[in-house]
Amino acid sequence: MNQKGFVQLILILILLLGIGVAVYLTQFTQIFKPKATGQNICYANSVKTLQDCIDSIPASPTVNTLEITNLILCDDQTPEKRCEFKLENINRPITIRGAANSGAGFRRTKSGNVALYNFFYINKSSNVTIQNLFFDDLTQDGCNNSRYP
């Protein structure tokens, strides 16, 4: 093989490698997200981790986003699975959101016929945004309660 043919072969291999890398990077775009932006997000995947994120808001002024990464099952008969989250005296921008394309949200699966509760109780607060979350009440308590015609 002469030197000219060898250079052409190397050039073709480099082009094929570049195409392969380009296809990979378009499929996995999260590689491009800067790591510094993740420091202001608290990730939650359960009742406990979401409550921990909410509890961290006053102590962590840099946290401005609570991201729920999956569907959280709620049960008002089991205290550690009760999805009742209180946000009080929050007066800075806070976003509670579902992760993109994750189906994140809340599904109430059991009711003990106790007083109906809200998923989020926001009191004396401003600039709180809730977005991209799924809410499902399989118990239908909220639908059949005579207090809410």
Most confident of 57-66, 97-106, 139-148: 97-106
Q: Please indicate whether residue 147 or residue 9 has the higher confidence score (pLDDT).
A: 9
Mean pLDDT of 51-58: 89
pLDDT tens-digit readout, 24-46: 777 765 555 544 444 689 999 99
The terminus-to-terminus CA distance of the chain in angstroms comes to 86
φ/ψ region of 81 (left if φ > 0, alpha if ψ in -120 to 50, else beta) reads alpha
Whole-model pTM: value is 0.63
pLDDT tens-digit readout, 120-131: 888 888 889 999
User: How far apart (Å, rounded) are the C-alpha atoms in residues 94 and 69?
Assistant: 17
Residues 27-36: contacts with CB under 8 Å, at least 24 apart: none
pLDDT value at position 97? 94
Contact (CB, 8 A) for 128 and 92: no
